[in-house]
Amino acid sequence: MKTLLALCLFALLPVRASAQAIADVNNPSKIEFTVSTDHDRVTNYELDILRPDGSVLQTLNLGKPTPDANGLVDVPLNVQPVTFGKGYSVQVRAIANGALSDNAPSVNKFNRVPGSPSKVVAK
């Protein structure tokens, strides 16, 4: 009876969604993505940096990075040329002999914000 009561109470509790929005990132220094299932035939990957309105700000050629054992790659990303602002995003696509895959959009937005000043070290 206690087990049944516990199950009933559990069913009445609100459940958090497992696919929650990921918090915005400030000044990202890399992008991580899963390579295409036919990575062997891919010649390179392209990344678009998108303005908050969804228009393309810049397209970068990422080359053909080597994935880890899980099929993930980390590629350095320099957002310094991007104007300070919030709500930027990226999308990645694979290219194989001129054919383009569908765009894979980022799961979170990023912000370009002023960073703290660099420290000068003198000895």
Which residues does 112 contact at the CB level (< 8 Å), separation at least 6?
A: 26, 27, 79, 82, 83, 84, 85, 86, 88
Structural domain harbouring 63: 22-112
Specify if 121 maps to a domain.
no
Report the CATH number at residue 62: 2.60.40.1930
Mean pLDDT of the chain: 78
Look at residue 88 and tell me whether its pLDDT is greater than 90.
yes
Q: What is the DSSP string of 68-89?
A: -TTSEEEEE---TTSPSEEEEE
Specify if 36 maps to a domain.
yes
Specify if 49 maps to a domain.
yes
Specify if 10 maps to a domain.
no
Which ranges in the chain belong to alpha helices (H)?
2-12
Terminus-to-terminus CA distance in the chain, angstroms?
74
Sign of the CA dihedral running 42, 80, 84, 23: positive
Look at residue 108 and tell me whether its pLDDT is greater than 50.
yes
Bigger pLDDT: 123 or 93? 93
The pTM assigned to this predicted structure is 0.72
Residue 48 phi, psi (nearest 5):
-105, 135
Across residues 21-36, what is the average pLDDT?
A: 83
Closest CA to 96 of 18, 54, 38: 38
